[in-house]
Chains A and B, each alone.
Chain A
Amino acid sequence: MDNNREFLMRRLHSLLGVIPIGLFLTQHLIVNHFATQGVEEFNRAAHFMANLPFVIFLEIFVIYLPLMYHAFYGLYIAFTAKNNPGHYSYLRNMLFVAQRYTGIFLVVFIAWHIFETRFQVAIGAAEADFSMMENILSNPFMFVFYILGVVSATFHLANGLWSFFVTWGITVSAKAQRYSTYFTLLVFIVLTIIGIRALFAFV
């Protein structure tokens, strides 16, 4: 048991989920929320984000690399579990299962989302603005897909944040872990409202 590579990889997986991915997701949903204030406001915010200095490096080091590591190592973690929510239907076990299912769904959703938006912009086939999202979300199937994507992402972040606190030894006692459940539930609710409100602003 001298080899601690797995330990470091799991810790890195936990860390990257919160910093930077969790922070990026929060920022992303808040910027999207400009859509509720109208086309102009959203386009201004999107334009600002798209024209940040060194944006390609920000994207690579803050988003793509951490996200890919988290996604692929996460798939390995998800598929090494033998879920047993039937006989052991305790809250934490249900959340454990949900964390794995939302994770797998998010790999599909985010891959599609990046292909449909950022990749299209990169190849010059589209421009990242209000009408792009309006177009995508006018399809009822895609609208549901995006709702599921946003809820999965906010859940996965909030529940992952709870695990992060345990994994790094911040919440040790049962009491601390219970209050952490309330806190992360609040994070889930707030981020979900922000995310869903933005989606509805496009239709």
Chain B
Amino acid sequence: MGEAAKTVIFEIERQNSTDDSSYWEKFELPYRANMNVISALMEIRRNPVNMDGKRTTPVNWDMNCLEEVCGACSMVINGKARQSCTALVDKLEQPIRLQPMKTFPVVRDLIVDRSRMFDSLKKVKAWVPIDGTHDLGEGPRMPERKRQWAYELSKCMTCGVCLEACPNVNDKSDFIGAAPLSQVRLMNAHPSGAMNRDERLNAIMGEGGLADCGNSQNCVESCPKGIPLTTSIAALNRDATIQMFRNFFGSDHMVD
């Protein structure tokens, strides 16, 4: 062989718990063909020895589906938020820098607590209420072409990348970010969901809602699912404009 075996170098920003301060640790791993960031993290877990040759604690991270549909393994890789399962080492510049998405509270190492996104979905009523005191029967039909369009919006996996990329989602602001807003557009597009559209619009016209968007459009550039987030936001802006006038001048019934 003669040549030194090929290796991959990782720099990982680690943190023992939410309130601890962070520190960087470097790891050098043997290269394997087609490895991704997750398989590298698994290798570190198997043999948690850092570049100084010292034995250390295994790096903690979150994962589940390993095929970019669950969003659990999202982290900041070389400065950009994305899923680590689809981050191929061959396509990354070395050393590969891994950081937690610090827009969220860090639980440990690369694991963050994304609860705020789920709380936001509750705040904006991102569901279709179908329960009644009696059988409500079938809802109105949705045109097939509209369903196909809405399916794209439904691909959101609440991964948090759009919040991490957004300059207006930070500890100085309450902005809920693009993902929950786009879900409002999805639920309002649903024929049964549309029966409560004014409730969702009024929710996103509140604190930390739609108005906090500064149009940096990092969300749409970063979304791993290619969801047209900025189109959703602009469409909601139009709906909110109408809702605003309706709330003030409007009639006594709020839905259509």
A interface, CB within 8 angstroms of B:
1-4, 6-11, 77, 79-84, 86-88, 90, 92-93, 96-97, 162-163, 166-174, 177
Contact A1 B234 (CB under 8 A): no
Q: Is the CB of B218 within 8 A of A84?
A: yes
- Number of B residues contacting the other chain (C-beta, 8 Å)? 41
Residues of A within 8 A of B217 (CB): 90, 92-93, 96
Taking the closest CB of chain A, its distance from the CB of B167, in whole angstroms, is 5
The minimal Cβ–Cβ distance linking A69 to chain B, given in whole angstroms, is 15
The 8 Å CB contact of A93, one of B218, B228, B235, is: B218
Q: Is the CB of B208 within 8 A of A1?
A: yes
For window 199-256 of B, CB contacts with A under 8 Å fall at 202-212, 214-218, 221-222, 228, 230-231, 233-241, 244
Are the C-beta atoms of A166 and B234 separated by less than 8 Å? yes
A9 to B207, CA, bound (A): 11
Q: Which residues of B contact A (CB under 8 A)?
A: 79-80, 123-124, 165, 167-168, 170, 172-173, 202-212, 214-218, 221-222, 228, 230-231, 233-241, 244
Q: Decide: A77 and B214 in contact? CB cutoff 8 A.
A: yes
Q: B218 contacts A1, CB within 8 Å?
A: no
Contact B228 A174 (CB under 8 A): yes
Query: Nearest-CB distance from B228 to chain A (Å)?
Result: 7
Query: Can you spell out 18 A-B residue pairs with CB atoms less than 8 angstroms apart?
Result: A1-B124, A2-B206, A7-B210, A8-B244, A80-B168, A80-B173, A81-B214, A92-B216, A92-B217, A93-B217, A93-B218, A166-B237, A168-B238, A169-B237, A171-B234, A173-B231, A174-B230, A177-B234
CB distance from B166 to the nearest CB of A (A): 9
Do B235 and A4 touch across chains, with their CB atoms under 8 A apart?
no
Chain B residue with the shortest CB-CB distance to A171? B234
In angstroms, how far is the closest chain A Cβ from the Cβ of B122? 10
Q: Are A1 and B209 in contact (CB under 8 A)?
A: yes
Docked complex Cα distance between A4 and B202 (Å): 8
Provide the bound-state CA to CA distance between A73 and B31, in Å: 53
Known contacts A81-B168, A173-B231; is A7 also within 8 Å of B203 by CB? no
